[in-house]
Amino acid sequence: MSQIHCLSLTQVRDLLRTRELSARECTAACLDRIARTDPTLDALLHVAGDEILREAGLLDTAGPDPSRPLWGVPITVKDVLATKGMPTTCGSRILENFVPVYDAHCVAKLREAGAIILGKANMDEFAMGSSTENSAFKTTKNPWNTSHVPGGSSGGSAASVAAGQCFASIGTDTGGSIRQPASFCGIVGLKPTYGRVSRRGLVAYGSSLDQAGPMTRTVRDAAEVLQVIAGHDPKDSTSVNVPVPDYVGVLGQRESLAGLRLGLPEEYWGKGLTPEVEQACRTAVDLAAGLGAEIVPVSLPHTEYAIATYYILAMAEASSNLARFDGVRYGRRSPHVQDLASMYTKSRSEGFGEEVMRRIMLGTYVLSAGYYDAYYKKAAQVRRLIRQDYLRALEKCDLICGPASPTTAFAIGQNTADPLQMYLTDIFTISLNLSGLPGLSLPVGLGRDSNLPVGLQLFGGSMDEVRMLQVAATLEAALPQLPAPPLP
Amino acid sequence: MNLSPEKALAIATLARLEITPDQAAVLAAQMDDILGYMGKLNELDTASVEPMYTPVDQAGMLRPDEVRKESTRADILRNAPESDGEYFIVPRIV
């Protein structure tokens, strides 16, 4: 079985379950695929060694366990999620040698479900970035065109899934970091409702915005992974204690979209959108209409304030969250230390990259006396207005729909000189995190000019991942399948 | 607004970061640019809007404060830059 990497997670899981494929063969195939593609892509920061072949061998000896839905399935995890005994760097020099003593809640759930953790995916340092160019270690390349970025911050995860190195990856989304790289790499990315998946063990960037979720090659695969990682965690006080519905069982029940009201926010379908993205997304919306969906115009009037609001709040939270990196308990300590104060400043300044320093400083500024009300409180007030926009729009429709990004994947180096220009690329993903609502990016085709993937987003009401997945699966089945990226 | 390199240096000190005067000049210009963009929010009248700090309605759900031993001292100290096997070691304070 030489083409294992072309299968979906669901397909490979079924082969593992019927023993047509052993867990060891499957893991070895992924390690082989990584060895062949990662020297070009740089998607992974750490690849597990022989120990996972032994782990897979033990699974084979015990035999398939139908109660474990990801039995034997190799998965990668963004390097911002703690993995017991496996390095977790957050793409930062300051955590270069950090090895967690516990698993993030979602990683523990994956292991319980039988998944094999292959390795850790590259990312923008502390998830601060939209291109993976801010990783302290290397820049991940887009599998569709290696002179372009894979998006970010979960760019390593997206490239790894698109290249067939694994069958799913767990990314995190603070301002679009699952959905934008998913769209750039032609895969499915799902940001669950804030609170749906525990944040324990997710190294915090913007605590009120961060959410982990699946990145996969099909909608069904995303449902399978969400089924495993969703649920209440008593150790995360923002994890919501509501039952987890059956995400997988409801798929395929909806061939028509009759009765579905799909809302198109006017702010997402005009200025700034490149013609090729608009065309691919419009084609998918027309397809939805052809399947019976009613297309409804809606408005998210505060969209133009979302980037400013987001960056004030995220930077404020980051400056506070990243205060824990002080060279005392874990992480890098500067060798040039004279006293306690210089230990803090030198360890942090030598350990953090440029973008992280910039965000910490901006966060410190907006939280400082005299500026707090003008920036932080003001942004928190506008945040409420943005959430109200979504709730009002969702009174007129069942799902909101718009492009994931104004452009397809941009070239490496194109947006690095001007940080503000890079922030502005997040326009279509960022406001969702402010609202806390769930969103999914679905590949809808290749741009006619760039020949790079285009993603369409669906936004749902709070905890309405079921409907989002159902509709995405129906659209996916009706759309032409994307070819495989041009890799060896 | 006009954020000076001196102000950037002062913010760096508050954030326990060390930057060179050259970096301060670049950062001051970039921060000025970004904060200028954020000033856009002043177009909105938010006097009667309650700030929203979390998207979760039932935030802050607490569990009983029970001690559970899940990691050993040795495990935790293994990540420390400097320890004596019992404690984290830092430069002399007093």
- DSSP string over A181-192: HHHHHTSEEEEP
Residue A16, in any domain of the structure = yes
Write out pLDDT tens, residues A399-415.
999 999 999 999 999 98
A409 Ramachandran zone, left/alpha/beta (phi>0; psi -120 to 50): beta
Name the residue facing A312 among B15, B38, B70 (closest C-beta).
Answer: B38
Distance CA A226, CA A138 (A): 29
A391 and B54 Cβ atoms separated by less than 8 Å = no
* Mean confidence (pLDDT) of chain A: 96
The position carrying tokens 């959905």 is A179
| Total residues found in chain A within this entry | 488
Of B12, B18, B49, the CB nearest to A384: B49
What are the C-alpha distances in Å from B65 to residues A105, A235, B59, B68, B76?
Answer: 19, 11, 17, 9, 21
10 Å Cβ neighbour count for B75?
15
Q: Return the CATH number of the domain spanning residue range B5-43.
A: 1.10.20
Classify strands A188-191 and A439-446 as parallel, antiparallel or unpaired.
antiparallel
State the DSSP string of A109-168.
HHHHTT-EEEEEE--SGGG--SSSTT-SS----BTTBTTB---SSSHHHHHHHHTTSSS-
Q: Across the interface, which of A195, A309, A328 has its CB nearest the CB of B88?
A: A328
Q: Residue A333's Cα: distance from chain center in Å?
A: 30
**Number of domains, chain A:** 1
Chain B residues with beta carbon closer than 8 angstroms to that of A415: none
Instruction: Round to whole Å and give the CA distance between B29 and B35.
Output: 10
Beta strands A116-121 and A453-459 are unpaired
Q: Kindly state whether A137 is in contact with chain B, defined as any CB-CB distance less than 8 angstroms.
A: no
- Cβ-proximal residues to B69 (8 Å cutoff; 6+ apart), any chain: none
User: SS3 for A214?
Assistant: strand
Structure tokens at A212: 């982990």
Residues forming a β-bridge with A47: A119
| Range 313-342 of A in CB contact (< 8 A) with B | 319, 323, 326-333, 337-341
Q: Which residues of A touch B55 (CB under 8 A)?
A: 194-195, 208, 387, 434-437
Dihedral, A268, A274, A280, A284 alpha carbons, nearest 10: 10
For chain A, how far is it from start to end, CA to CA, in angstroms? 17
pLDDT at A487: 87
Average pLDDT value for residue range A263-286: 94
Tokens of A34: 């990584």
User: Residue A42 sits in a domain of what CATH number?
Assistant: 3.90.1300.10
How far apart (Å, rounded) are the C-alpha atoms in residues A229 and A170?
10
Judge whether A58 lies within some domain.
yes
- Is A346 an annotated catalytic residue? no
What average pLDDT score do residues A101-129 get? Answer: 98
Query: How crowded is the C-beta side of A399, counted as CA atoms within 13 Å?
Result: 29
pLDDT at position A184 is 98
Indicate the length of chain B as a whole number: 94
Contact between A199 and A207 under an 8 Å Cβ cutoff? The reply is yes
Please report, to the nearest 10 degrees, the dihedral formed by the alpha carbons of residues A262, A267, A272, A275 taken in order.
30
% of chain A at pLDDT higher than 90: 93
**With 80 as the cut, is the pLDDT of residue A455 above it?**
yes
On the question of pLDDT at A391 being above 90, the answer is: yes
Q: Which two tokens stand for residue A191?
A: 């940001």
Please check whether residue A87 is in contact with residue A3, taking contact to mean a CB–CB distance below 8 angstroms: no
The pLDDT, as a whole number, for residue A417 is: 85
Predicted confidence (pLDDT) per residue in A288-347, tens digit: 999 999 999 999 999 999 999 999 999 999 999 999 999 999 999 999 898 999 999 999
Predicted-complex ipTM score? 0.95
DSSP 8-class letter at B41: G
Tell me the nearest-neighbour CA distance from B8 into chain A, angstroms.
Answer: 8
Residue B1 has pLDDT above 70, yes or no: no
The answer to whether A158 and A189 have CB atoms below 8 angstroms apart is yes
pLDDT tens string A146-163: 999 999 999 999 999 999
Domain hosting A247: range is 4-257+439-478
Q: Of residues A78, A120, A191, A346, which has the active-site annotation?
A: A78
Q: Is B94 on the interface with A (CB under 8 A)?
A: no
Segment B12-58, tens digit of pLDDT? 999 999 999 999 999 999 999 999 999 999 999 999 999 999 998 77
Residue A253 has pLDDT above 80, yes or no: no
pLDDT band at A1 (very low <50, low <70, confident <90, very high): low
Measure in Å the smallest separation between the Cα of B33 and chain A Cα atoms: 8
What is the spatial distance between Cα A428 and Cα A446, in angstroms, rounded to a whole number? 19
Place of tokens 């400056």: A319
User: Are residues A180 and A88 in contact, defined by beta-carbon separation less than 8 angstroms?
Assistant: no
DSSP A182-243: HHHHTSEEEEPPTTSB--TTB--SSTTT--EEEEESSHHHHHHHHHHHBS--TT-TTS----
Identify the pLDDT of residue B59: 62
For A16-70, write each residue's pLDDT tens digit.
999 999 999 999 999 999 999 999 999 999 999 899 999 999 999 999 999 999 9
Chain B residues with CB-CB distance to A340 below 8 A: 90-91, 93
